[in-house]
């Protein structure tokens, strides 16, 4: 009986994908001929972040990654929108 429970539990865990590695986060950044653009906003589905005044690009990206609600079944895509050109 114990082996049946263990086997069934293993099957349920496989079906639920609880031991799968986490899905990746894909960051999409705009670039220009001069290189990557500075971001002012990040979007991922209904989630939106605005870059704070004086916040470095690196700190902004870290803050977005920390607050991101990831999709467990597929890769999560975050779009970093550029600052408007002047």
pTM beyond cutoff 0.75: no
Q: Does 47 reside within a domain?
A: yes
Question: For residue 16, is it left (φ>0), alpha (ψ between -120 and 50) or beta?
Answer: alpha
Q: Does 45 reside within a domain?
A: yes
**C-beta atoms surrounding 19 within 10 Å:** 8
The per-residue DSSP string of 70-85 comes to --SSS-EEEEEEEPPP
Number of domains, the chain: 1
Q: Does 70 reside within a domain?
A: yes
Q: List the chain pLDDT tens, one digit each, 86 residues.
A: 568 898 898 888 888 777 777 788 999 998 888 887 889 999 999 999 999 999 999 999 999 999 999 877 789 999 999 876 55
Geometric angle at alpha carbon 72, from 70 and 75, rounded to 5°? 70
Q: Does 3 reside within a domain?
A: no
Full residue range of the structural domain in which residue 51 is found: 21-82
Cα–chain center distance at 18: 18
Q: Does 29 reside within a domain?
A: yes
Residues belonging to the chain = 86
Q: Does 77 reside within a domain?
A: yes
């Amino acid at each position: 009986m114990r082996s049946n429970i263990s086997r069934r539990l293993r099957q349920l865990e496989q079906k639920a994908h609880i031991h799968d590695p986490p899905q990746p986060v894909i960051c999409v950044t705009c670039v220009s001929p001069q290189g990557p653009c500075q971001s002012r906003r990040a979007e991922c589905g209904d989630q939106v972040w605005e870059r704070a005044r004086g916040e470095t690009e690196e700190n902004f990206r870290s803050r977005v990654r920390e607050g991101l609600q990831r999709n467990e079944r597929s890769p999560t895509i975050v779009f970093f929108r550029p600052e408007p050109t002047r």
